[in-house]
Structure 1
Amino acid sequence: MGKNNFNKNVATAPYNFVPLNSTVISDNDSSVVTGIHDSYDYFERLTGYIECKLETLTPIYIRGGLTEEEVKAKKEAKDNSNFFSPAGQIRIPGSSLRGMIRTLVEIASWGKFGFFEDRNLYFRGFADNCKNLREEYDSQMKPFDKESKRSIYKMSAGYMVKEGFKYFIYPAEKTGDKDKQFYNIKIEKASEEIKEIGKKRENYNYYKLKDGRSIVVSGPMSNRKDPELSKKHDWIINKIDRNIQNKIEIPEIDIQNYNRDESRGNKVPDLLKQCYDDKEVPCFYVEWLDGENNNRVSFGNTALFRISYQKSIGDHIPINGLKNKEKIDFANAIFGNTFEGEKDPDIDPIAGRVFFEDAKLVNPNNNCLMKEESPGILLGPKPTSFQLYLEQDSNLVDELKHYNSGTRIRGNKFYWHKSGEKWEYKHHNLGNSNEKIKTKIRPVKPNTEFKFRIRYENLSESELGALLFALKLPEGCAHKIGMGKPYGLGSVKIIPELYTSDRNGRYLSLFNRDGWVLAEFKQKDRMLNQTVSAFEEHILEGMSDSDKGEASSLWETHRLKQLKKLLEVEKGKELERDHKSEYTDLKKFRYRDVLPIPEDI
């Protein structure tokens, strides 16, 4: 999203986004492209390590694994409050440090948008405050017929069946003059028919009648803007059409998307699971074609069910580079892309050339752990909130863009820094007394010192500069790591020191009076800054004019100005004091207020 001046109707959140880059800058190191990086070019490449001091500015928490006994006792991860402590030694795992730094390298080097879950999200917008979303839902589910001046239901009805490892939908028979598969039935009449088969009508349930038809009961509905949708009826689905030529195979991608729909209500039945207990589960569905002209199916338990957006999350990432398989950016060149290589056989795997050790306590004998407490409820991200996760050109609710619109995702998500003083559940109890989702944690105290080492091999000067750029943040900025970021946990300050290896000298002599000749030398800050400058120059030269603007350094570009704001410790604390980094109140949330860019908050 470009600059905006939204001065009203704005959302608040403990996070914000670094906007996407318009192009990707390649790592032009030929040793990566040709594969020579697997061998050492002793005279031009850089090898050594970075010694890092890490100080916790707020409490931090990274959960430890379950013991063998706890696994056998079928305990869940939330039952373990211990900090990550292999062999009883408190540490910050190298994998966590690696992931944190890789993301920053990806952003600073104008890389491809990193690991994300490309899937279709679901929505139901017949009563939403956003006009665009209501119209989008209506266009797929009940288009308006001008002649009859009524909405004509577009969805179909049938029965879901599991056959082996696949799922199919057998359409319901069509009856009557209008070849209907389903129709309304008043609640009173539905209750009588359900009573005749010896059962009681309950919300979110379905009932097989003796004649082969099914009654489907929705959940309670209220506060409807559309009188036609008021809760005055249940649904009758005709009996199954067993003609195998008419059955519809549900694509695996739609099975996966359905399983990953976290926004589906807890009381709404899971049709896939019901297929294990019932051979024929009544359902409603719509068929559609995706952007590659593949047959797709959305399905639900009632007529006005949640449908899939026809565009996936990945469709909102520009294809000009951000998803280009052929380009090798700095993040992949330095950290490797073996994960992508395993996922996509068309991508040649690249081995990483940086190795992160665990961060160990400087004073392991000190008691650095806080007492066990329950943090505020840690909820998962809600990308379905398009007013927050998609770029918006307007803050007017009827003009908002959703996931079927032509817009981009907001970019990389970061949490604001906070004081870390009010992370406990007692400060964030919003009336949710569900004890099942509460957990216990024992964070590490603020002002605790760790140290860790990053070893690097065969890097070019600009590649090493990218790594150092992500470690050595501007004055007043800090990194975030671990759990509980929305409530102020995880702020850490890192101070790097650069060591390089003279590999030519290392192999001229094996021993001296002190033992092995390692030929590793600590470099002065001037050398560190020079290496960072080489990286910055490479990126500034490669970026588009629109991304560069008038910037003479990376931190002056529009993108990294947003990143810098998110990393500023005092800025985050200021927003915390002004209640501008809290989750939007649920009563206000339904109005879909827009989240401004970081520098406009």
Structure 2
Amino acid sequence: MSTVTSAYNFVPINKEVCLPDWADYVSQDIPLQGALSGEIDLTITAKTPIFVRGKSTVSNPNAHQEYEFMKHNDQYCIPGSSIKGTIANVLEIISFGKLNRINDHRFSQRDWNNEKIYDKQSFAQKNKGGWLYFEGETYKIDYNTAQIGRIEHKEIDAYFKTNFVELFGENFDQKIPGENKSALRKYKLLKDRNLKVENKLVELRRRHRHEQQRYKIQPDITNGASGTIVFSGQSSERKEVREGVWKGKNKEFIFWEPNVKKKEVPKQVMKDFFFAYYEDDSKKRTTDWEHWRKVLANGERVPVFLQLDEKDNIKHFGLSMLYKLPFDQRVKELLKGTHHEKKQYDFVETLFGYSIEKESSKGRVSFQHAFAEGFVKECKPKTLVLGEPKASYYPFYIPQEFIRDDSTIIINGEYITYNDDVPLAGRKRYPIKKIDDSLGADESAFSTTFKPLPAGTTFKSKIVYHNLLPEELGALLCALTFNGVENCHHGIGMAKPYGYGAVAIDIMMYESVRNKAMMAFRTYMESWWIAEKLEGTWSESEQLQELIAMARFSHQSKKLTYMELTDFPQIIKEQKALPRFTQFLGIEPHNYSESYQKEINAFIEIEKERLAAIEEAERLKKEAEEKAKAEAAEAEKEANAAKERQENLAKGLFEWLPKTNDYGLIADKMDKWIDMRNEECITDTAEINYVLLNVTASRKKKPSRHRERFFNEKKTNDLIRWIGKEETEKFIQSFTNES
């Protein structure tokens, strides 16, 4: 059983982003109404040994690193930029700002413990063999659409007179890192021999139907297949675990002559490949990629395994059959909402300035260097591995659902990964903790040696602020003091994962100014919280609770350490993950002082009433506007109808009523005509005769046996409405003399 431990945790990402409505109007030169300017004196006290990186004393960047403590004018100091960055990170959390200072990587994985995201067998069967090269302005790949062939080590030995079976069998030491396990070692064993086999590859009988086709090289024929032998690394020895059952790699690959050429690699796919193979971090590059990148730079071709999408575009590729598979989602694709907003600014951007595309603004807060006070003696040198944890490790970096029982680390169901449309775990923080002096590392390319300054060292600094609204000054002060919560500490400098750099920051300024400003920011955030209709209060939000918990010294330091490399795959096998910090350590929610709660609750009650009144006023206003709009629309409709009526009356009945024998059409048109005449029947003799002519035609259309009953009560009433009673009686009477 593996134990979940972690030197870091996450403050959950805020779904809603607070964007101050005055952000567009801030300026260095134009005073804001009610704005404040001044200075804040700071005393920064190291509660654990602290190290801020200065000059490197090693010339080779790929070797073991040694650094001096930062100095300015020969004085130990913490740069103002370091203090600013530390405070900005806290301010971003407490002001519910944007999370936009993140890399947009597409992480890759080779997680064979999770078949949901990496099925080895099906993955290998989809691979094509190709050759990567650079031509013109782009990278291209020539490849063959057929399945990659396989050739066993014993067949290579038989043809090339090598000893692969022994070297990578019982004589293989998998504990030796680097070139020993690389494909490069195999290429060197073949030296300059031509690996392209012409017309001599012969198929072997498959041992099972899912097996990739195996081949042997038969020197005495000229009608066999042609292909190039391609090697990949050797992760373990080839050995017989029981009679007839072998474990470990004993086959290499055959790439066929390309039948698709000059297929352009999309720029983003190439970028993902470089990122997966640590092109920007020489210390993490594999032996093989170090070799192949030089081959590529020389204009030569590099063998790659690739897969295509449904449109036959290159989807991804790698240097081995089971290469690292990119996740579906990029990091920023999991960041939703206004975190990507570029035209509106949060508190951090508004106070500290920004440069976004062509827009920029200078900050109104300046942090001066913090210089160490008095005589300070450096501690003994310390050597540690200070590498960043891999954000591709989804059990920690993607929030999981946990089983609610005695354990808080077992997930409920399947893992959520970067393949799912989910939020990121949050903003990474290193919890404050005591240093374990027993921890250390040997000097290597991955370790760093430094001399920290001891706990108790004090630094003096100053913040100069200009033209800040009370809410903005309060935001700065709340970030410095973790919303005024006692016993909270910031982390500054290197080695924070090991507990170094925990500092207390004391503020020297008028208490009345400080309290008033902090209250202005708190009430602003509580008001914004209510307006956004969020649950609970801003002060007790999950974000502030997790931040405060990680800013206090924990007595559970063993849980706050890095796991061993062998533990990471085991954690996935055991379906474990990293919960929220408070859940992980069983920390109760922070309770504010009674005076704080009383003041905030009083404001919230008044604010809810105020916002409710505003909401009701806006509802009534909207209701009145909609009513006025409806009345105006109705008036316009009536006006248009009156205009249309006048236009139709002016054109006359002869244009309005077509000549027809369809009584239904006659009735419809005449009823509308009389409506337009305000129920006044027609009196013009010509118009009367025209109407009667149409009615007579409609009567004549009826069979003779039905004509006597044509003028029923409805039609008689219709005629009376159209031409009057006297004319109607005369008209109907005229038909009584029909024979």
Q: How far, CA to CA, are the matches of 1:193 and 1:547 in structure 2?
A: 75
Number of the residue aligned with 2:24: 33
Number of the residue aligned with 2:150: 184
Q: 1:310 to 1:464 in 2, by over 3 A?
A: same
Shift of 1:288: 4.2
Aligned residue pairs: how many?
511
More displaced 10-residue stretch of structure 1: 435-444 or 303-312 = 435-444
Residue 399 of structure 1 aligns to a residue whose secondary structure is coil
Number of the residue aligned with 2:423: 408
CA contact (8 A) 2:378 2:452 kept: yes
CA contact (8 A) 2:490 2:504 kept: yes
Q: 1:440 to 1:230 in 2, by over 3 A?
A: closer
Matched, 1:540 2:516: no
Shift of 1:467: 0.6
Shift of 1:309: 1.2
Number of the residue aligned with 2:352: 335
Q: 1:115 aligns with which of 90, 96, 101?
A: 101
Work out the percentage of aligned pairs sharing the same amino acid: 25
Matched, 1:218 2:211: no
Shift of 1:481: 0.7
Q: 2:376 aligns with which of 356, 367, 372?
A: 367
Q: How far, CA to CA, are the matches of 1:581 and 1:327 in structure 2?
A: 37
Matched, 1:23 2:16: yes
Q: 2:48 aligns with which of 52, 55, 58?
A: 58
Number of the residue aligned with 1:325: 342
Number of the residue aligned with 2:360: 349
Q: 1:398 to 1:283 in 2, by over 3 A?
A: farther
The gaps in structure 1 that reach 5 residues or longer are 1-7, 144-150, 175-179, 499-522
Q: How far, CA to CA, are the matches of 1:477 and 1:466 in structure 2?
A: 16
Q: 1:386 to 1:90 in 2, by over 3 A?
A: same
The one-letter code of the counterpart of 1:158 is G
Number of the residue aligned with 1:502: none
CA contact (8 A) 1:64 1:80 kept: no
Report 1:106-145 matches (<5 A).
106-125=92-111, 127-128=112-113, 130=114, 134-138=115-119, 143=122
CA contact (8 A) 1:103 1:114 kept: no
Number of the residue aligned with 1:5: none
Residue 50 of structure 1 aligns to a residue whose secondary structure is strand
Q: 1:389 aligns with which of 372, 390, 397?
A: 397
Q: 1:458 to 1:113 in 2, by over 3 A?
A: same
Q: How far, CA to CA, are the matches of 2:532 and 2:414 in structure 1?
A: 26
Shift of 1:164: 4.4
Matched, 1:285 2:306: yes
Q: 1:280 to 1:557 in 2, by over 3 A?
A: same
Q: How far, CA to CA, are the matches of 1:487 and 1:598 in structure 2?
A: 17
Q: How far, CA to CA, are the matches of 1:236 and 1:42 in structure 2?
A: 72
CA contact (8 A) 1:547 1:557 kept: no
Shift of 1:456: 1.3
Q: 1:463 aligns with which of 454, 472, 483?
A: 472
Shift of 1:451: 0.8
Aligned-pair RMSD on alpha carbons? 3.2
Alpha-carbon deviations, 1:389-443, whole Å to 9, x = none?
0111133386111111121111111112122252xxx5245xxx56332322111
Q: How far, CA to CA, are the matches of 1:280 and 1:262 in structure 2?
A: 17
Q: How far, CA to CA, are the matches of 1:561 and 1:62 in structure 2?
A: 28
Report 1:28-177 matches (<5 A).
28-29=21-22, 32-34=23-25, 36-41=26-31, 44-66=34-56, 79-125=65-111, 127-128=112-113, 130=114, 134-138=115-119, 143=122, 153-172=125-144, 174=145
CA contact (8 A) 1:64 1:84 kept: yes
Shift of 1:533: 1.3
Alpha-carbon deviations, 1:146-201, whole Å to 9, x = none?
xxxxx8711222100122453211113x5xxxxx2521111211344454899x99
Q: How far, CA to CA, are the matches of 2:269 and 2:443 in structure 1?
A: 31
Q: TM-score, normalised by structure 2?
A: 0.64
Q: How far, CA to CA, are the matches of 1:46 and 1:294 in structure 2?
A: 62
Shift of 1:469: 0.5
Q: How far, CA to CA, are the matches of 1:397 and 1:247 in structure 2?
A: 47
CA contact (8 A) 2:43 2:461 kept: yes
CA contact (8 A) 2:376 2:453 kept: no
Number of the residue aligned with 1:209: 196
Q: 1:528 to 1:231 in 2, by over 3 A?
A: same
Q: 1:459 to 1:288 in 2, by over 3 A?
A: farther
Q: How far, CA to CA, are the matches of 1:332 and 1:229 in structure 2?
A: 57
CA contact (8 A) 1:123 1:308 kept: yes
Number of the residue aligned with 2:505: 494
Residue 81 of structure 1 aligns to a residue whose secondary structure is strand
More displaced 10-residue stretch of structure 1: 258-267 or 186-195 = 258-267
Q: How far, CA to CA, are the matches of 1:80 and 1:158 in structure 2?
A: 43
Number of the residue aligned with 1:594: 577
Q: How far, CA to CA, are the matches of 2:465 and 2:451 in structure 1?
A: 33
Q: How far, CA to CA, are the matches of 2:63 and 2:490 in structure 1?
A: 25
Q: 2:387 aligns with which of 355, 379, 387?
A: 379
Residue 440 of structure 1 aligns to a residue whose secondary structure is strand
More displaced 10-residue stretch of structure 1: 42-51 or 270-279 = 270-279
Q: How far, CA to CA, are the matches of 2:334 and 2:533 in structure 1?
A: 19
CA contact (8 A) 2:127 2:147 kept: no
Number of the residue aligned with 2:736: none
Number of the residue aligned with 2:328: 310
Q: How far, CA to CA, are the matches of 1:192 and 1:274 in structure 2?
A: 29
Q: How far, CA to CA, are the matches of 1:472 and 1:40 in structure 2?
A: 29
The one-letter code of the counterpart of 1:209 is K
Matched, 1:249 2:264: yes
Q: 1:546 to 1:25 in 2, by over 3 A?
A: closer
Q: How far, CA to CA, are the matches of 2:330 and 2:524 in structure 1?
A: 33
Q: 1:393 to 1:464 in 2, by over 3 A?
A: same
Report 1:431-510 matches (<5 A).
435-473=444-482, 474-498=485-509
The one-letter code of the counterpart of 1:582 is T
CA contact (8 A) 1:50 1:496 kept: yes
Q: TM-score, normalised by structure 1?
A: 0.77
Which structure shows the higher helix fraction? 2
CA contact (8 A) 1:23 1:543 kept: no
Q: How far, CA to CA, are the matches of 2:101 and 2:234 in structure 1?
A: 39
Q: How far, CA to CA, are the matches of 1:575 and 1:284 in structure 2?
A: 46
Q: How far, CA to CA, are the matches of 2:139 and 2:64 in structure 1?
A: 33
CA contact (8 A) 1:190 1:215 kept: no
Q: 1:278 to 1:566 in 2, by over 3 A?
A: same
The one-letter code of the counterpart of 2:567 is K
Q: 1:567 aligns with which of 538, 551, 557?
A: 551
Larger Rg over CA atoms = 2
Alpha-carbon deviations, 1:510-557, whole Å to 9, x = none?
xxxxxxxxxxxxx2x122121111111112222378995333x52x21
The one-letter code of the counterpart of 2:386 is L
The one-letter code of the counterpart of 1:598 is F
Shift of 1:283: 0.7
The one-letter code of the counterpart of 2:516 is Q
Residue 417 of structure 1 aligns to a residue whose secondary structure is coil
